[in-house]
C-alpha cells in the first residue's frame, strides 16, 4: 500500500471507509444474533457507530502527506474515543493494537502477523472477564491461522482470503463454547461482526462479493410460537407454511439460526414417520423444551439495565486498574481504555448516575452515555423493530404552529403540533418511533401532557429522557442552549429550561380570584406569572403594560409571542414601544390557543 | 537580538500602527471594493465609514487578497537592510489566495533573503494576537527555527470570539463555515462564532447563541473560562478587542465582563475595513492568547 499522489490521502482511508459501509449494510444481521452479554440487539449498531464516529472525527491533514500506517494509527485512536458498547470497545482495542505495530508502514505478512498478535493481546487484556465463544475467540483464531498460512503464501491479501472459511467454521463453533449462544441457537454476534469486517476487507482487497442471510430476533420468536402450535396440534408438515415471517420454501439451509433449523428439520423428518405414540410424545416434549429454552434466552433477566459509558479526564487516576476498581462494584462488563489523561470506561450497571458522581470526584467527565438495555431489548424482540438511524434526537410537543416553526429552526428534530386537542399516547409513541433515534429527549409545552408522554416513553422503542418543562418558553430556553450538532456528549442544555422569565396573558372564562384577593371578572384579561395571577383588567393593553412594569427588571429585550386569540391584534406592539422607549420589543406569532400573549423578558 | 528582522503583515489585524510596539514593521493594506470602487483603509475610509455606507446606502462590499506586486515592493525595498523577514499572514483557510501570494514571494526571494510565512489561522484581532505574540518571540529569539516553533505555539493557543448579529455579511464573503447552521431563524438570534487555534479544520464555528448582547457577552466569558480550564491556563496573555463604534452599550458591557478575567494585557484595538466587510454593522469581536 502507498500514499496516493493525487489527493495525498493514503489508500487505506478508502479501504476503511468501504469496510465501514460493508459493515453498516449488515449491522441488522449482527444485531439479530446479539444474546451475549445482554440480548439488547445492538452489537451491529455499536460496531458500526464505533467506526462511523472514528471516521467522522478523523483530521483533515491539510494536504499533508501521511502514510497508511499513520492513518491507521489516527483511525485507531479515534476508534478508542468513539467506541460504543462491549463489541465496539473490544474492536477499538484490537484496532489500536494493530496500529501500534503497523504504524511503521510495513504491510509484510510477518509484520501483519505481529500486529494481529498485538491486537489480540490488547483486546484480551482490556476485556473484563474474557470468555471463549466471543469476538476474542475469532481474533485469536485469525492470528493463529494467519501465522500458519504465512508458510505457504507471501501475499497478505491471499492469506486473509484463505483465513475466512476457517474463521467461519470457528464462528459456527461458538455456540459450543458459550452455552447462552447454543440455547438461543445463534453464533456470537461480536464474532460475526468481526468476520464481516474481515470479509469486507477481503472484498476490498480482492474485489469479491459475499452473501449473508438475515433473520430478525422477532421473526425467530414468531417462528417459535408457530412451530410450538403446530407441534402441539400434531400437524405433520410445516414445509410450505410461513412461520411468522420466516419463509422456508427456499430450503432450511437458508435459516441462519442453527437451533431453529434443527428443530424444524427434526420435526419434518419424524412427524411423518411411523413412530409409536410414546416415542412421538417424547420427541414432542423434547422439541417443546428446546423451543422454551430458546425463548427464554431471547427474553432474559437483565441484571444490570444500563449500558453506561463515560470519558473522564483526570490527573488523579494513575492507572486503568485504579478506575476499574473504582467502578466495578457497580456492575459488570467493565472495559477501560486509556489515552494520556483520558480514560474511557464501559460498564453495565443499574446506577449510572452514582457511577458518574463517584468518578466526577476524580476529574472532569467529558462524555457520558447511558443506554437502557431493557428498552433496546424490547425493541429488538418486537415485530416492528426500529433500525436506529441516529444516536440522539430532540422531540417537542407544542400547541401552536408558530412555535413549531420556531423550535424546529432552533434545532428540534421533530415538533408535534397538537393544536387544541392534547395528543394521545398512541400519537406520541408513533411520533417518537418515527425519529428512529436510539436516545430521544422529549419535552412538552404543557405539564398536562407529561403523564401521556411518560406512558408513551415506556411503550416506544427509544431511550426517552423526558424533560419536565412548564411551557413552550421553557422549550425555547432549552433549545437556545443546545448546540446544532446535538450529541450525547453534552446535555447540559436541559438545565437551561428556566433561563427565560415569562408571563402569559389570557382571558377569564369565569370569575376568579387572584392571589392578592383581587376579583377577576368573566371576560377580563389577566396575567399569570409563576402560577399566580399578578394583574387583570378590561383591556389587554392595560394588562400588558402592568405586567411589563411589574416584571421587567434589568432585562432589555421584551418579546411578545402572539396566540390565536390575538392573531388579528396589530396595535399592542407599537403602543408598548412608545410607552417603554428604553426597552427593545420583538413580536412573533406563536399560534397558541390558550394565551393571547406570552411575554418574555431577556 | 543580533539579526535585523522585518515583520510584514496585513492591515486586517485589529490594531493601529501605534499599538504595535515594534519599529521594523510594514503593514500592507487589503483592497476593499465598495459598489465596484476600490478603497484602502485610511483616515477618511475607515470602519465607521463603511458601516454607515452599509446602513444608509445598503452598499455591497467585498475584500480582496493582498496584491502580490505590493508585497514584492516591500520585500524589494527592505531586502538589503534586514537579515530575515517574518510575514504574519491571515488564515490560509480563510484566504488561500493571500497565503499563496506570500508563499510565492518567499520562493522568489529564497536566494536573496529568508522569509518566514506564519499562517496565523486567524482573522482580524486573532491576527493581531498572533502578531503581538510573534513580536514577543522576536524580541527574545532571532533563530529562524526557534521563531517558527514558538510561533506555532502562539497560533495554537489563540482563539477568536465574534459576535456577528447579521450572518449574511459573512455568508456573502464565503467565510461562514459551520456557522451557516445558525442562519435563517424566525427568532432573532445573536450568534457567537469562533475561530479556534487548536481546531484542525481552522474554519469559523458556531460556539453558542443568545437573544441579547448581554447574554452573548456572558456566554463568551463562560466559553473563555472553559477554554482556559481545558488548556490548564491560569492567565490570559493578551486580549485584543475590536468594534465599529455602532454598538457601544454591548461593547462596554463586554469590556466590564472581560475585566473579571485574569489577563496580562487587554488592548481595545482598531477595526479595519475588511472586518466590516465580513462582519457587518453592530458586530464586535476579540481574540485571546493563553
A186 & A259 share domain? no
- The reply to whether ipTM tops 0.90 is no
In a domain, A212, yes or no: no
Report the chain B residue with the minimal C-alpha distance to residue A57.
Answer: B200
Q: How far is B209 from chain A (nearest CA, A)?
A: 7
The residue with greater pLDDT, A294 or B44, is: B44
Q: Where are the beta strands (DSSP E) in A328-389?
A: 331-339, 342-349, 364-372
Q: Report the CATH number at residue A568.
A: 3.30.1180
Q: What is the pLDDT of residue A21?
A: 84
3-state secondary structure of A311: strand
Of A252, A280, A298, the residue that ends a domain is A298
**Chain B residue nearest residue A476, CA to CA:** B187
Task: Report how far residue A172's alpha carbon sits from residue A154's, in angstroms, rounded to the nearest whole number.
Answer: 28
More reliable by pLDDT, A334 or A32:
A334
Confidence band, pLDDT 50/70/90 cuts, at residue B180: low
Nearest to B63 by CA among B276, B271, B242, B280: B276
Q: Evaluate the omega torsion of the peptide bond into residue A268 and state whether it is cis, within 30 degrees of 0.
A: no
Please report, rounded to a whole number, the percentage of residues in chain A having pLDDT higher than 70.
84
Q: What is the spatial distance between Cα A262 and Cα A525, in angstroms, rounded to a whole number?
A: 75
Decide: residue B103, CB within 10 A, 0-12 exposed, 13-18 middle, 19+ buried.
Answer: middle
Number of domains in chain A: 5
Decide if A94 is inside a domain: yes
Residues A151 and A70 in one domain: yes
Asked if residue A540 has pLDDT above 60, the reply is yes
Q: What are the grid coordinates assigned to A498, written together? A: 428556566
Residue B126 has φ and ψ, to the nearest 5°, of -65, -40
Q: What is the CATH number of the domain that holds A406?
A: 3.40.50.510
Nearest to B185 among A59, A410, A602 (CB): A410
The x, y and z cell numbers of residue A529, run together, are 406569572
Q: What is the mean pLDDT of residues A583-593?
A: 92
In this prediction, residues A310-316 reach a mean pLDDT of: 86
Q: What is the pLDDT of residue B270?
A: 94
| Diameter over CA atoms, chain B | 60
A6 is a domain residue:
no
Whole-angstrom Cα distance, residue A52 to residue A45? 10
What is the model's pLDDT at position A43? 85
3-state per-residue secondary structure call for A163-179 = HHHHHHHHHHHHHHHCH
**Claim to verify: residue A234 and residue A129 sit in the same structural domain:** no
Task: Closest CB to B201: pick one of A60, A559, A588.
Answer: A60
The answer to whether residues A43 and A149 belong to one domain is: yes
Residue B168 vs residue B29, higher pLDDT: B29
Looking at residue A264, its pLDDT comes to 73
For residue A469, being part of any structural domain is answered with yes
What are the pLDDT digits (tens) for A5-47? 334 567 788 889 889 988 988 887 888 777 777 767 778 888 9
In the structure grid, which three cell numbers stand for residue A37, read together?
A: 452479554
The span from the CA of A496 to the CA of A551, in Å, is: 20
Domain assignment of residue A361, yes or no: yes
Mean pLDDT of all residues in B46-73: 90
Query: Are A202 and A227 in a shared domain?
Result: no
Inside any domain, residue A161: yes
Asked if residues A264 and A248 have their Cβ atoms less than 8 Å apart, the reply is yes
Average pLDDT across chain B, whole number: 90
Domains of chain B: 5-29+65-156 (3.40.50.10440), 33-63 (no CATH), 158-289 (3.30.1180.10)
Domain CATH code at residue A43: 1.25.40.340
The pLDDT score that the predictor gives to residue A288 is: 81
Asked if residue A441 and residue A310 are part of one domain, the reply reads no
Q: A245's torsion region: left (phi>0), alpha (psi -120 to 50) or beta?
A: left
On whether residue A3 sits in a domain, the answer given is no
Cα radius of gyration (chain A)? 30
Q: Please identify, among A376, A402, A426, the residue that sits at the C-terminal boundary of a domain.
A: A376
- Please say if the pLDDT value at position B173 is more than 50: yes
Model's pTM, two decimal places? 0.61
In B, minimum Cα distance to A584 occurs at B212
Based on the domain organization, do A390 and A427 belong to the same domain? yes
Task: Please tell me whether residues A525 and A462 are part of one structural domain.
Answer: no
**Residue in A closest to B249 by C-alpha:** A556
Q: How far is A557 from chain B (nearest CA, A)?
A: 7
Looking at A496, A515, A549, the residue that finishes a domain is A496
Please provide the average confidence, as pLDDT, over all residues in chain A: 82
- Quick one: A490 and A572 in the same domain? no
Do A252 and A361 share a structural domain?
A: no
pLDDT in tens, A481-495: 776 444 444 556 777
> Does one domain contain both A56 and A170?
yes
pLDDT by residue (tens digit) across A254-303? 566 667 777 777 776 666 565 666 767 777 777 788 888 777 776 667 78
- For residue A4, tell me if it sits in a domain: no
Residue A345 maps to which CATH number?
Answer: 3.30.70.260
* Residue A247, H or E segment: strand A246-247
Q: Note the Cα A146 to chain centre separation in Å.
A: 35
Domain enclosing residue A328, as ranges: 306-376
Grouping H, G, I as helix, E, B as strand and the rest as coil, residue A86 is helix
Q: Say how far apart CA B233 and CA B264 lie, in whole Å.
A: 12
Closest C-alpha to A73, from A62, A85, A61: A61
- A293 and A311 within one domain: no
How is residue A93 written as a grid cell?
482495542
Partners of residue B189 in chain A, C-beta under 8 Å: 410, 480
Question: Which of B187, B194, B231 to mutate: most A Cβ within 10 Å?
Answer: B187
- CA nearest neighbour of A453 among A497, A377, A403, A397: A397
Which residues of A fall within a CB distance of 8 Å from B188? 586
How many whole angstroms separate alpha carbon A371 and alpha carbon A319?
A: 26
Cis amide bond preceding A519, omega within 30: no
What's the Cα-to-Cα distance from B101 to each of A63, B71, B95, B147, rounded to whole Å? Answer: 18, 8, 10, 21
pLDDT above 70 for A208: no
Classify residue A189 as exposed, middle or buried by CB count within 10 Å of its CB (0-12, 13-18, 19+).
buried
Amino acid at each position: 500500500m502507498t500514499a496516493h499522489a493525487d489527493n495525498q490521502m493514503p489508500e487505506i482511508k478508502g479501504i476503511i471507509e468501504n469496510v465501514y459501509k460493508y459493515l453498516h449494510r449488515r449491522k441488522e444481521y449482527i444485531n439479530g444474533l446479539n444474546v451475549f452479554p445482554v440480548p439488547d440487539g445492538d452489537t451491529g449498531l455499536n460496531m458500526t457507530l464505533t467506526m462511523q464516529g472514528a471516521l467522522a472525527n478523523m483530521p483533515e491533514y491539510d494536504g499533508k502527506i501521511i502514510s497508511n500506517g499513520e492513518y491507521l494509527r489516527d483511525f485507531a485512536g479515534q476508534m478508542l474515543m468513539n467506541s460504543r458498547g462491549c463489541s465496539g470497545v473490544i474492536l477499538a482495542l484490537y484496532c489500536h493494537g494493530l496500529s501500534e505495530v503497523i504504524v511503521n508502514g510495513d504491510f509484510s505478512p510477518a509484520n501483519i502477523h505481529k500486529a494481529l498478535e498485538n491486537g489480540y493481546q490488547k483486546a484480551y487484556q482490556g476485556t473484563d472477564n474474557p470468555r471463549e465463544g466471543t469476538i476474542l475467540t475469532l481474533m485469536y483464531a485469525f492470528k493463529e491461522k494467519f501465522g500458519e498460512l504465512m508458510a505457504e503464501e507471501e501475499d497478505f491479501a491471499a492469506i486473509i482470503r484463505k483465513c475466512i472459511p476457517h474463521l467461519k467454521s470457528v464462528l459456527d463453533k461458538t455456540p459450543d463454547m458459550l452455552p447462552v449462544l447454543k440455547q438461543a441457537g445463534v453464533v456470537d454476534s461480536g464474532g460475526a461482526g468481526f468476520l464481516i469486517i474481515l470479509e469486507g476487507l477481503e472484498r476490498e482487497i480482492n474485489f469479491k462479493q459475499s452473501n449473508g442471510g438475515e433473520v430478525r430476533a422477532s421473526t425467530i420468536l414468531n417462528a417459535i410460537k408457530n412451530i410450538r402450535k403446530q407441534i402441539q396440534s400434531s400437524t405433520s408438515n410445516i414445509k410450505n407454511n410461513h412461520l411468522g415471517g420466516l419463509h422456508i420454501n427456499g430450503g432450511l439451509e437458508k435459516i441462519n439460526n442453527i437451533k431453529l433449523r434443527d428443530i424444524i428439520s427434526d420435526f419434518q423428518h419424524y412427524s411423518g414417520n411411523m413412530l409409536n405414540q410414546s416415542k412421538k410424545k417424547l420427541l414432542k416434549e423434547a422439541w417443546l423444551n428446546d423451543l422454551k429454552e430458546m425463548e427464554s434466552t431471547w427474553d432474559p433477566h437483565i441484571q444490570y439495565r444500563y449500558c453506561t459509558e463515560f470519558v473522564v479526564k483526570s490527573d488523579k487516576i494513575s492507572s486503568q486498574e485504579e478506575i476499574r476498581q473504582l467502578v466495578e462494584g457497580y456492575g459488570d462488563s467493565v472495559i477501560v481504555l486509556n489515552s494520556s489523561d483520558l480514560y474511557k470506561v464501559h460498564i453495565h450497571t443499574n446506577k449510572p448516575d452514582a457511577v458518574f458522581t463517584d468518578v466526577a470526584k476524580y476529574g472532569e467527565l467529558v462524555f457520558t452515555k447511558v443506554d437502557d438495555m431493557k428498552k433496546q431489548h424490547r425493541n429488538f424482540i418486537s415485530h416492528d423493530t426500529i433500525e436506529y438511524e441516529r444516536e440522539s434526537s430532540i422531540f417537542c410537543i407544542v400547541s401552536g404552529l408558530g412555535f413549531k416553526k420556531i423550535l424546529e429552526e432552533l434545532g428540534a428534530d421533530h415538533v408535534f403540533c397538537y393544536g387544541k386537542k392534547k395528543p394521545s399516547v398512541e400519537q406520541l409513541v408513533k411520533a417518537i418511533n418515527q425519529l428512529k433515534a436510539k436516545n430521544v429527549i422529549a419535552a412538552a409545552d404543557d405539564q398536562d401532557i407529561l403523564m401521556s408522554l411518560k406512558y408513551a416513553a415506556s411503550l416506544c422503542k427509544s431511550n426517552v429522557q423526558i424533560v419536565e418543562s412548564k411551557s413552550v418558553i421553557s422549550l425555547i430556553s432549552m433549545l437556545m442552549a443546545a448546540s446544532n450538532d446535538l450529541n450525547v456528549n453534552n446535555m447540559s442544555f436541559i438545565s437551561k429550561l428556566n433561563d427565560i422569565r415569562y408571563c402569559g396573558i389570557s382571558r377569564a372564562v369565569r370569575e376568579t380570584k387572584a392571589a392578592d384577593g383581587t376579583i377577576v371578572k368573566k371576560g377580563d384579561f389577566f396575567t399569570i406569572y409563576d402560577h399566580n395571577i399578578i394583574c387583570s383588567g378590561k383591556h389587554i393593553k392595560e394588562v400588558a403594560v402592568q405586567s411589563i412594569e411589574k416584571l421587567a427588571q434589568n432585562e432589555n429585550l421584551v418579546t411578545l409571542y402572539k396566540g390565536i386569540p390575538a392573531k388579528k391584534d396589530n396595535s399592542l406592539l407599537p403602543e408598548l414601544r412608545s410607552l417603554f422607549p428604553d426597552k427593545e420589543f420583538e413580536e412573533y406569532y406563536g399560534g397558541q390557543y390558550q394565551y393571547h400573549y406570552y411575554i418574555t423578558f431577556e | 537580538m543580533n539579526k535585523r528582522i522585518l515583520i510584514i503583515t496585513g492591515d486586517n489585524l485589529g490594531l493601529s500602527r501605534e499599538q504595535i510596539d515594534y519599529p521594523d514593521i510594514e503593514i500592507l493594506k487589503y483592497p476593499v471594493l465598495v459598489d465596484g470602487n476600490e478603497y484602502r483603509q485610511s483616515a477618511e475610509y475607515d470602519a465607521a465609514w463603511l458601516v454607515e455606507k452599509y446602513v444608509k446606502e445598503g452598499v455591497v462590499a467585498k475584500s480582496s487578497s493582498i496584491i502580490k506586486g505590493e508585497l514584492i515592493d516591500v520585500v524589494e525595498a527592505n531586502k538589503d537592510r534586514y537579515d530575515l523577514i517574518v510575514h504574519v499572514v491571515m488564515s490560509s483557510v480563510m484566504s488561500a489566495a493571500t497565503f499563496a501570494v506570500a508563499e510565492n514571494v518567499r520562493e522568489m526571494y529564497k536566494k536573496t533573503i529568508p522569509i518566514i510565512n506564519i499562517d496565523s489561522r486567524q482573522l482580524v484581532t486573532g491576527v493581531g494576537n498572533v502578531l503581538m505574540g510573534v513580536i514577543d518571540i522576536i524580541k527574545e529569539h532571532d533563530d529562524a527555527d526557534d521563531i517558527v516553533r514558538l510561533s506555532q505555539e502562539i497560533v495554537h493557543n489563540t482563539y477568536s470570539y465574534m459576535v456577528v448579529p447579521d450572518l449574511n455579511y459573512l455568508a456573502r464573503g464565503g467565510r461562514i463555515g459551520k456557522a451557516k447552521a445558525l442562519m435563517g431563524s424566525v427568532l432573532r438570534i445573536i450568534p457567537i462564532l469562533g475561530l479556534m487555534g487548536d481546531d484542525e479544520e481552522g474554519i469559523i464555528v458556531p460556539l453558542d447563541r443568545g437573544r441579547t448582547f448581554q447574554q452573548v457577552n456572558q456566554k463568551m466569558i463562560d466559553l473563555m473560562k472553559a477554554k482556559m480550564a481545558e488548556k490548564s491556563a491560569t492567565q490570559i496573555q493578551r486580549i485584543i478587542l475590536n468594534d465599529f463604534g455602532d454598538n457601544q452599550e454591548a461593547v462596554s458591557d463586554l469590556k466590564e465582563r472581560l475585566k473579571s478575567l485574569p489577563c496580562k494585557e487587554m488592548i481595545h484595538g482598531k477595526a479595519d475595513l475588511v472586518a466590516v466587510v465580513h462582519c457587518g454593522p453592530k458586530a464586535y469581536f476579540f481574540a485571546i492568547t493563553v
